[in-house]
Amino acid sequence: MKRKRLEAAADFLRRKAGGDLDAAIVLGSGFGGVLRERIDGGTVPYGKIEGMPEPTVPGHAGEAHIGTLHGRRVVAFSGRFHLYEGRATHDVIYPVAAAAHAGAKTVVLTNAAGGVNTGFHTGDLMLIADQLNLTGTSPLLGAALLPGQEQRFVDMVDAYSPGLRKLARHVAGEYGISLQEGVYAGLLGPTYETPAEARYLRRIGADAVGMSTVLETIAARALGREVIGFSLITNVHGAGAPTSHEEVIAAAAAAAENVARLIEGLVANL
């Protein structure tokens, strides 16, 4: 990862936000627009940000909302980069790395995920307590450390900040939003899991499964940032009947609003 590019991207983010960032938010599938109208600032296409890869997946718009949210300077990335698109790990983590270089101390990650915990239901929101990186790769591979990374070996205990999780539970309680909490398994994709894979994931301790997030968390921790993550459960493996697309879309729309309120409440209390 080129330090110069990252610095140029960070300078741009700072300029747009009016100073060092406080937080970065990554919006997963279905969450695209949720923070746009809440952030007092502007929206820029990824093309305007130095070094940013171009998104290819529909539903991942590829724009950054930059400004203030409850007095905190934030960037919300709408559109992310995935390994299943054939992306390099450094493309996947670029938005998080750029925001970290612009000063963001907190990284909020959101995603859509399948439930492998059979107690979960479509439309549930899960606070990520921990992760299983099953992608078979890491953004920290290579001779050089990431720009801004101080140590080769990165501790991953409490990768998802206990303090931020407590705050999230508190905010959710205040707003009457129910939250599951569990382990997110990040896989390569792009296939969804076979029933055998879903059973395997459950047995090794996963509650939800998806194709993003884990590398971003690793990068954020390597750069010394605090991470919090939310998974919207769009389908539950082993639930018997296939979930209807309409149901998933409706659940996503309802949950997206809750996610926006949660993030707003969190950011206000940073």
Q: Closest residue to ligand HPA, Cβ-based?
A: 114
- Longest pairwise C-alpha distance within the chain: 51
Task: Answer yes or no whether residue 113 interacts with ligand HPA by CB under 6 A.
Answer: yes
CA 266 to CA 252: how far, in whole Å? 20
Catalytic residue selected from 78, 111, 161, 235: 235
Active site residue 29: yes
Task: Answer yes or no whether residue 215 interacts with ligand HPA by CB under 6 A.
Answer: no
**117, 133, 235, 258: which one binds ligand HPA (CB under 6 A):** 235
Active site residue 200: no
Cβ count near 120 (within 10 Å): 22
CA 251 to CA 18: how far, in whole Å? 36
Q: Which is nearer to ligand HPA, 114 or 148 (CB)?
A: 114
Task: List, in sequence order, the alpha helices (H) in 135-242.
Answer: 162-175, 195-203, 214-222
Cα angle value 103/30/1 (rounded, 5°): 35
Cα angle value 86/89/93 (rounded, 5°): 120
Would you give the binding string for ligand HPA spanning residues 165-194, x where CB under 6 A is met? ---------------------------xx-
Residue 256 Cα distances to 96, 115, 124, 126, 201, angstroms: 21, 17, 11, 12, 26
Q: And the tokens for 29? A: 């599938």
Of the candidate spans 37-45, 70-78, 111-119, 260-268, the one that interacts with ligand HPA by CB under 6 A turns out to be 111-119
Would you give the binding string for ligand HPA spanning residues 46-65, x where CB under 6 A is met? --------------------
Query: Footprint of ligand HPA on this chain (CB under 6 A)?
Result: 112-114, 192-193, 209-211, 234-235
- As annotated, the active-site residues are 29, 60, 82, 84-85, 112, 211-212, 235, 245
